[in-house]
Structure 1
């Protein structure tokens, strides 16, 4: 097996302008939740599968009991005005070298289909629950900033302090070397659970930057369910603390 294997499911190529949207697993699964929801809403077709020795050494088991190697996938959707490629899947690399190798191959695939602009979507872990998640942003070219701000994205120079790591950062950086424009959207999230509320906030900003008409009601419903579940946990914690209060006679 080669370090990175890309299997194309179509011989078609693109001549642009196309857009790549990355939503691989990450902090709070924010980007993955957004891309997976979009793919449920549009008639996209799978155009590529990626397998790699840099992925975790495991298989996943489907509902039918059958197992398969972990992999990532690229899906294509043609809107009235442009072509979109969506990168999603099971995992990211388990090594720094793998992150670079995989990002390079993701961009090879993007060039094959005529991509000129890249969106990478992710979460910004703050270590605590967030009632109203902000969507923090970064761009590869200054002229993109006003458009992102008009869509509701925020630019905070002190955040994220450690930069953008993993596929989301490298696709931007390596894409810039290939002449691609890049926009990163990250929803604030606790970082320790799947966060549909953060994903919903990110989706609203992303939708304003594209011509995709995506219904976010299902994400809002999941966010409401999460709020209810967390409130029950808080209530349990409060009651337990009250039960543990000392009594003096």
Structure 2
């Protein structure tokens, strides 16, 4: 479908648009233990999700990705699937915005929130690791949602959620029509903790009713 500019700081190379509204977005970007990125990658594979779009921004690191035959700017990807009984979007990427700029994460997070809401997304689940607690901890902008998450076996989270995922939750909190949820899994290895990521994936599977084969 070509390039779109849904926000002044983003360009989106969109391949198609989902037909349904009220979708759920799972955000999995680099962070503690690699939990978010691992969950997003596994979720994409388990649901056979299709590439919906690539997101580009001037606030991304000043690099290009070179392969054997070509190169391209760094980008985030959003995948889409309807194979799990609901309309599911998955945001993933291999980096955080320019770490030398305090403005970059805000601009990118704001742009992504506006774009996914234009697709009809009204629930965002951000996934990350944590060192403050063991097991699964959660947060939400809706008290009734938080209560259900705790009833599902999680503990209320207290601490900071950094990067684009955390900022997206913060920005969505200002939009009363949307539900935001943070799912954090306790990590022993802050570099790559597959056990923590699997714990988070199983919790997300349970709360969203995806019925994944894991």
Q: Give the TM-score, by structure 2 length.
A: 0.86
Q: 2:76 aligns with which of 72, 94, 97?
A: 72
Q: Looking at both structures, which has the greater relative contact order when contacts are Cα pairs under 8 Å and sequence separation is at least 6? A: 2
Structure 2 contact 84–211 (Cα < 8 Å) conserved: no
* Alignment partner of 1:34 is 2:39: yes
How many Å apart are 1:174 and its aligned residue?
1.2
Please list every run of 5 or more consecutive structure 1 residues that lacks an aligned counterpart in the other structure.
217-249
Segment drifting more, 73-82 vs 44-53:
73-82
Considering fraction of residues, name the structure with more helix: 1
- Partner residue, 1:232: none
How far does the alpha carbon of each residue in 1:36-62 deviate from its partner, in whole angstroms, 9 at most, with x for none?
A: 001111121111111122112222344
Match of 1:211 in 2: 209
Aligned residue number for residue 105 of structure 1: 111
What residue in structure 2 maps to residue 146 of structure 1? 147
Flag the 1:214–1:81 CA change in 2: closer, same or farther, 3 A.
Answer: closer
Give the superposition deviation at 1:13.
5.0
Q: Per-residue deviation at 1:80?
A: 5.8
Higher strand share: 2
Q: Where does the alignment leave 5 or more consecutive residues of structure 2 unmatched?
A: 1-7
Contact 1:124 1:191 in 2 (8 A): no
1:20 aligns with 2:21: no
| Structure (1 or 2) with the larger CA radius of gyration | 1
* Correspondence for 2:5: none
For 2:172 and 2:19, how far apart are their aligned partners in 1?
17
Q: Is the CA contact (8 Å cut-off) linking 1:72 and 1:89 kept in structure 2?
A: yes
Residues 48 and 207 of structure 1: CA distance in aligned 2, closer, same or farther (over 3 Å): same
- Counting only pairs closer than 5 Å after superposition, residues 80-229 of structure 1 correspond to structure 2 as 81-94=85-98, 95-125=101-131, 133-156=134-157, 159-160=158-159, 163-178=160-175, 179-190=177-188, 192-216=190-214
Between the aligned partners of 1:175 and 1:3, the Cα distance in structure 2 is: 18
Task: State the number of aligned residues.
Answer: 205
